[in-house]
Amino acid sequence: MLKVGAHTSIAGGVYNAVEDQVEYGGNCGQIFSHSPQVWQDPSISEDDAERFIELSEEHDIGPWVIHTSYLVNLCTPKDGLRQKSLDSMQTEVDVADLLDIPYVNVHLGAHTGAGVEGGLENAASVLDDIDVPEGVQILIESDAGSGTKLGGQFEHLATVMDETSQEIGFCIDTAHAWAAGYDISTEEGVADTFAEFDEVVGLENLKYVHLNDSKHGCGTNKDEHAHIGEGEIGVEGMRAFINRSVEEGVPMALETPTEDGKSFAWNIERVRELCEAE
């Protein structure tokens, strides 16, 4: 079954994300629990949470995933930033538990001089210190790999999985994987990428996909999203990735732009057109 939705605003109440998702034509999706640009605690009441859960069940929308703040840096060597990142992560998994959301998605962040090995060790250490509620799983998202950011290589993901005591999962962002050098513009390239992920990380650990086309070339480390099939990855690559994700039973959340008169609804319909299972 095709599971596709969009990153959806919680403005006016977290439950509004469900109604927006219905309007987009999605049946799963992603939210921020608060503004991702600042250190901030979510303000979600138990009543709002209950309404979110009830509406999600009523419209058969899920699984949802919470995307953490952009300020979180698991790889940092700085004690102050590490503590802020840990506190933020603890809050996010607790909110996920409140909302009955199974996944919290996070970037590894940048090692900023600690080196690749040191940065990955730092990330595993932060993950170890999070008290993750039963029924919630942390997902590490693949990265575009610019600067000292880690997660662009599948080996980075596997190293963190091996070093942490947490039972983490993973989210592949198609635009990030493309920017990091994985050529997913053809059916063969998608097959090779899934095979490499399976060998290095294990497909059983792939829990979500961020489905985005890219405005930049493969291996450029530039992260700028495009409408499905209209970027550098293109129709063939998007079609192949969508259908392989459906085959593997992995839900997909869109983070596509709203421009050129094309919205999340347009992109979700585009995904349905490219999905052979529809």
* Residue 110, pLDDT above cutoff 90: yes
* Residue 278, pLDDT above cutoff 80: no
**Which CATH number does the domain housing residue 213 bear?**
3.20.20.150
Domain count, the chain: 1
For β-strands 103-107 and 64-67, DSSP reports them as parallel
- Cα 266 from Cα 3, distance rounded (Å): 16
pLDDT digits (tens, 9 = 90+) for 140-182: 999 999 999 999 999 999 999 999 999 999 999 999 999 999 9
Query: Which range marks the domain in which residue 71 is found?
Result: 4-274
Q: CB-side exposure of 42: number of CA atoms within 13 Å?
A: 31
* Residue 40, pLDDT above cutoff 80: yes
Q: What is the predicted pLDDT for the residue at 272?
A: 98
Q: What is the predicted pLDDT for the residue at 170?
A: 98
* Residue 222, pLDDT above cutoff 80: yes
Q: Is the peptide bond before 63 cis (omega within 30 degrees of 0)?
A: yes
Work out the average pLDDT over 228-239: 98
Sign of dihedral through CA atoms 230, 37, 97, 131?
positive
pLDDT digits (tens, 9 = 90+) for 46-93: 999 999 999 999 999 999 999 999 999 999 999 999 999 999 999 999
Note the pTM of the prediction, 2 decimals.
Answer: 0.97
